[in-house]
Structure formats: C-alpha cells, structure tokens
C-alpha cells in the first residue's frame, strides 16, 4: 500500500543520470512525477468513457419505446 518513505529507501542505484537519447538531466525526474504516477482522480475514468464514446444519460432501452412519427393525413 505504501509508496512513500519506505519505497524511497529502495532507490540507491544511479538516481541522477543523463537521458541516453537527448542528454536531458531531469528526464528521470519527469518520469517519476508525470501523469499516471499518482491518484489520477478524474483521468483514470477517461479511458473507459472513451471506449464507450463518452455516452451520458440513460441507456436507449430504459427510455421506453421510441415515439412513432406523427402520420400526416
């Protein structure tokens, strides 16, 4: 359950290195703090909503039978 102090004790090997691809010094720090490393309170639901096409409201069947178009005579 913990990702706090006890987890930080395990990090003891080469914590400050350059990015091999772009020589950026803070690349690893960005990975630690980027989106997806925390709770993601709202963002964690987006993938499910995306797969369903961001539908909202009641499902189609729950609204009752579709109203028939008025026949003009």
Closest CA to 18 of 7, 5, 28, 31: 28
Q: Give residue-wise pLDDT tens across range 10-26.
A: 777 776 777 777 778 77
Report field, pTM of the whole predicted structure over 0.85: no
Q: Does residue 71 surpass a pLDDT of 70?
A: no
pLDDT value, residue 8: 73
Other CB atoms within 10 Å distance of the CB of residue 27: 14
In a domain, 20, yes or no: yes
Rounded Cα gap, residues 22 and 36, in angstroms:
23
Domain assignment of residue 21, yes or no: yes
Contact 28, 15 (CB under 8 A): yes
- Count of structural domains, the chain: 1
Q: Do the domain assignments include residue 67?
A: no
With the C-alpha atoms ordered 9, 11, 14, 18, is the resulting torsion angle positive or negative?
A: negative
Domain, as residue range, for 43 = 15-52
């Amino acid at each position: 359950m913990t990702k706090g102090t006890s987890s930080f004790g395990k990090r003891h090997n080469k914590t400050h290195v350059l990015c091999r691809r772009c020589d950026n010094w803070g690349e690893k720090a960005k990975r630690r703090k980027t989106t997806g490393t925390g709770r993601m309170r709202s963002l964690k639901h987006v993938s499910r909503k995306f797969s369903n096409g961001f539908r909202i409201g009641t499902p189609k069947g729950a609204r009752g039978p579709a109203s028939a178009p008025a026949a003009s005579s």
